Structure 1
């Protein structure tokens, strides 16, 4: 009698498991939930931005990054880097897909790329005391260089102020003519005389 009871329990257990398996639906795959972060949202061109995939849910089999500048990249890497070469506002999205479906995330803030502003570098001859020229004067001199189409200048003397030097250059140009002064102040001085 004990064997029959044991066999009935086993049979009932198997039947119960089969019935339970038929009643419960199969575990369906879940689609991924696309998400990402960006390393920066603005800057001068060329602007390099790193995008970090933070998607959740089941693993995506395929991911497409749209960078907003008519380029994109297929990558399942956690980090993707893209360089924006032109000024503009770019809307970025990530599309993640697996066998259960697709999810797309568009970043809420556009990547804003601005034109790189021209700059000028002013250096001093060795042994010169750069503190003799104020930051304001340096900024004025840099703007003069940029306006003249130059990118650099070297200060060789702080005995004269920039204003005094300009007065001397102007007086010499009036006295002997601009052409006679060319070559005295090097190519950078020639461009300033031309201005």
Structure 2
């Protein structure tokens, strides 16, 4: 075999992604869900539509998600994990400000607006609500590190209600964007953080 032939075959070899085929299929399904969500909201995210556009069998979806609301919530959670980064800035105020700026950017995007609408449309109770709780528990385990670092630095007490602090911070963002219709810019975020985190 010539060197030229070896090079052609090397170029043609498939590139394996980390996580294998399951991760690749999940990514394709989630990308399809997000595209459908932006295009037509929750109504466009039927199992039939997603399966056809993602190139998978509907049975694949039924095995992994109890209904379309759970599928959409999982896709949104994956996008949030990817798009809303956390950072260690050496202060609770800095960490919260960074996270809130990321959240504001996400909520201003077409994906963020569609995700918010879908979350509001999801029916209360049932399998989707349980699924949403499990997704939040997963996300909280990552966010809680911000407050654990703050306790270690002596910025807040170990008895502080960190979930309530985050809820107040995130709630202020939704109030600013959805109720007042004004931008949640860095100055606004600085004011919110100053109220919640006293020096």
TM-score range, shorter chain: under 0.3
Q: TM-score, structure 2 length as denominator?
A: 0.18
Q: Which has the higher helix share?
A: 2
Structure with higher Rg: it is 1
**TM-score normalized by structure 1?**
0.18
